[in-house]
Amino acid sequence: MADPRASGLAFVLCAENNYTGPQALLFAKSLREFGGRHQAADAYVFSPRRHLALPASISRQLEDLAVVVVAEPLPGPIFDHPQGNKPMVAAWAEQNISNEAVIVVDSDGLILDEPDLEMTTSIPQVTAAWAQGVASAGPADPVDAMWRKILGKDDLPAAAMRTAVTKQLIRPYFNSGFVAARRAGGFFTRWRDEYLRLANCTELTTFLRRFSGRLGTSWRSPLFFLDQIALAATVWRHGSFNLLGERYNLPLQYVTAELISGVDRRPSRSTPVYVQYSEYLEWPEFVDLVGRSSWLPEAQVAWIRCNHGLTRAAAHPSWPPAFNDDLEKWSSNWRKDFEGGGTQHGAGRNRY
């Protein structure tokens, strides 16, 4: 294993006594396998809600991988919005660990190649995303007024950023599943403070609760996207950011949808550094499709085949739906994204 002193990074994520626990274990295994010079980097798994503390078996396996498990209650409105834990634990890590930089990731992510980030400045490293009905594509977008109101300003950043995969033109908006910044810059503390401010904005939270209800995600999180809205607002206030490419946040759903569609739009590819899979690795059929794709090298595919059973063993009782139906929906959305620019399709989903 690599010398931990070779990496000044610390990876931070949340996991609880549900499907996120085995996901965090799978992330840790991927980091130790494919992290390159960051293979032995410090990693912290937070379980801040006492009633959902990680089971001892998962904690022991994480500790065997030299992962620090932190089970401390944190302040803030996190009980009805699990994603709100991210800015909370990110700020805690920023203030309490000694590493030079922090990378916040989602539990449903995998490191498949060595991260190569420019961490010499205080500029945050982020990845683009598009969420129809929440993010803004510009002045004509119906939600643009909401952004002006919550930020208290009319001069919003120009709609001049394109998402990595679908090339959607948007005002800067980011996926909170991979965010990196130097501790000394205080970015994660500002993200937490922005989240707490927006969590007390009744107009915004009412909008998000209704929006989550229409999406059918209220069972999981009635304030879906609040963490990402706060992230975008924090980046805008910071004034600058480094936009990472598709290698740093590739959704495996798009990999399989591309394969089903029979279209190979990227004949020359580099191994992705970080991928997300939602809960789709619970499907053996999905793993088989990933294995047939040209996105991943054989070693990474073989590793996924050997380890994906960790997530299937802890599947959420109401997830996943019928494999063929859901994957066909993803495939249809993928085709629409590329053929129509993604502006009218997949409302409420992160689009890349």
Over residues 166-190, the pLDDT tens digits come to: 677 889 999 999 999 999 999 999 9
Q: Where residue 7 falls among pLDDT bands split at 50, 70, 90?
A: low
Residue 4 has what pLDDT? 40
Report pLDDT digits (tens) over 125-153: 999 888 888 999 899 999 999 999 988 88
Domain-embedded: residue 332: yes
Of the pLDDT bands very low, low, confident and very high (cuts 50, 70, 90), residue 78 is low
Going by the DSSP 8-state scheme, the letter that residue 143 receives in this structure is: T
In a domain, 111, yes or no: no
pLDDT value at 323 more than 80 = no
The CB density around residue 153, as the number of other CB atoms within 10 Å, is 11
Residue 77 domain flag: no
- In the block, tokens 């400045």 appear at 121
Q: Let me know if residue 213 belongs to a domain.
A: no
Q: Has residue 198 been placed in a domain? A: no
Is 253 inside any structural domain?
yes
- Reply yes or no on whether the pLDDT at 346 is more than 60: no
In sequence order, which residues have a C-beta less than 8 Å from that of residue 31 and are 6 or more positions away? Answer: 11, 38, 39, 41, 43, 111
Band the pLDDT of 82: cuts 50, 70, 90.
Answer: confident
Average pLDDT for residues 281-291, to the nearest whole number?
A: 84
> Would you state the pLDDT for residue 30?
98
State the average pLDDT over residues 241-246: 90
Residue-number span of the structural domain to which 316 is assigned: 248-340
Other residues' Cβ atoms within 10 Å of the Cβ of residue 344? 10
Lowest mean pLDDT among 29-38, 75-84, 191-200, 272-281: 75-84
HSE at residue 46, side-chain half, CA atoms within 13 A, is: 25
Counted domains in the chain: 1
* Residue 275 domain flag: yes
Residues 6+ apart with CB under 8 A from 340: none
The answer to whether residue 82 sits within a structural domain is: no
What sign results for the dihedral spanned by CA atoms 257, 159, 133, 226?
positive
